[in-house]
Amino acid sequence: MTQVAFHFNAPDRLAYVCRLLRKAVSSGSKIVVLGQLDVLQQLDTDLWTFSAVDFVPHCHLSSDPGVVAATPVILTPSTQKTPHQEVLINLDQVIPENFEQFERVIEVVGLEDQDRQLARGRWKHYAAQGYAIQRHDLVLKT
Q: Write down the CATH number for the domain with range 3-137.
A: 3.40.50.10110
Question: Is the pLDDT score of 48 beyond 70?
Answer: yes
Q: What are the domain boundaries of the chain?
A: 3-137
Q: Which of 128, 125, 92, 97 is nearest to 13 (CA)?
A: 92
Burial status of residue 27 (CB atoms within 10 A of its CB: 0-12, 13-18, 19 or more): exposed
Q: Are 79 and 99 in contact (CB under 8 A)?
A: yes
> Max alpha carbon distance in the chain (Å)?
43
Q: What is the pTM of this model?
A: 0.95
pLDDT-based confidence at residue 141 (cuts at 50, 70, 90) = low
pLDDT-based confidence at residue 139 (cuts at 50, 70, 90) = confident
pLDDT tens digit sequence for 57-99 = 999 999 999 999 999 999 999 999 999 999 999 999 999 999 9
Q: What average pLDDT score do residues 51-62 get?
A: 93
Q: Which residue intervals of the chain are DSSP H helices? A: 13-26, 37-49, 65-70, 113-128
Distance CA 121, CA 99 (A): 15
